[in-house]
Amino acid sequence: MAYRTITLGIEAGVARLTLNRPDRLNSFNVEMHEEVRAALDAVASPPSGARVLVLTGAGRGFCAGQDLSDRAVAPGGAAVDLGDSIEQRYKPLVLALRALPMPVIAAVNGVAAGAGANIALACDLVIATRSASFIQSFAKIGLIPDCDLDKVSAVGNAAGAGARMALLNRGYRREIEDTVSKIEKIETALEPKFQEHFVYAMALPNKVDPFPKLSAAVKLPPRKTVSEDGVAGDAAPRRRSREGHAARRSRE
């Protein structure tokens, strides 16, 4: 099969799958999803002769997650169903990685952001270069997905599997310690409306999203307001009284 967004090679029992959209930091679009799934099926078939899979990215990054331009909506068009994208694309991809009958190694070069970081962590072992960084921006600011709770499932403990492999080999442990000491973390917000999402998420659970599914399962805290400068509070920003200003000046 000829691929346009990835490359696949198998030599001496080692399969090497490279995400190959370096101009987009190897971010996923629909075509890449389909080609990666096809490649995993090919690697898993007995005729391939593969005994281990190495997953990496071309160019200066491993994977920047979802290609947002692939979800662009024309003016007046219907909004993209992000839940469907996760259910139909990312979840089957991660489950396919976990189901492979061989060890899977993520060779992370450069940025691994969002879905890219999650795909790397779904592998059995992660080897990171000095330039590697793992970014979960939305988790840090409280952007919790509102979905049916029965659709939330665990796909295994990749960290545990990697730890078991390392514990069996002292050389691996020395290599891991050396690699960890060289990792540098870079925070990057790639989403154009990152600041807007950030401000909304500061008002837990969210300033604009009602979270109907989550609120049906648990009692959510009272919704807080957020001022234009991003300060969360129980009401509109309060103005200082003249007396308060005078008292503060006298203390200073």
* pLDDT tens digits along 20-39: 999 999 999 999 999 999 99
For the stretch 54-77, pLDDT in tens is: 999 999 999 999 888 876 545 566
Residue 63 CA to its chain's centroid (Å): 9
Number of folded domains that form the chain: 2
User: Would you say residue 197 lies in a domain?
Assistant: no
Residue 196 lies in a domain: no
Task: Please tell me the number of Cα atoms within 13 Å of 135 on its side-chain side.
Answer: 23
Residue 147 lies in a domain: yes
> Do 36 and 161 have their domain in common?
yes
Q: Are residues 167 and 57 in the same domain?
A: yes
Residues 206 and 181 in one domain: no
pLDDT digits (tens, 9 = 90+) for 101-122: 999 999 999 999 988 998 998 9
The helices-and-strands tally (H runs, E runs) of the chain is 10, 9
Does 235 lie in the same domain as 152? no
Q: What is the CATH number of the domain that holds 28?
A: 3.90.226.10
Is 195 a domain residue? no
Residues 169 and 213 both lie in one domain: no
**The model's pTM:** 0.57
Q: How far is CA 148 from CA 57, 89, 207, 211, 220, in A?
A: 33, 17, 20, 11, 16
Q: What's the confidence (pLDDT) of residue 45?
A: 92
Instruction: Note whether 54 and 153 are same-domain residues.
Output: yes
User: Encoding tokens for residue 186?
Assistant: 């870079």
One domain, residues 90 and 63: yes
94/157 same-domain check: yes
Instruction: Judge whether 46 lies within some domain.
Output: yes
Residues 6+ apart with CB under 8 A from 134: 108, 112, 113, 117, 120, 121, 128, 185
Residue 138 lies in a domain: yes
Boundary of a domain, candidates 190, 213, 243? 190
The pLDDT, as a whole number, for residue 242 is: 54
For residue 100, give its domain range. Answer: 6-190
pLDDT at 137: 67
The verdict on residue 35 lying in a domain is yes
140 lies in the same domain as 234 = no
- Distance, in Å, from the CA atom of 55 to the CA atom of 8, rounded to the nearest integer, reads 10
- How much is the pLDDT for 82? 66
Residues in the chain where the model's pLDDT stays below 50? 73, 230, 232, 234-239
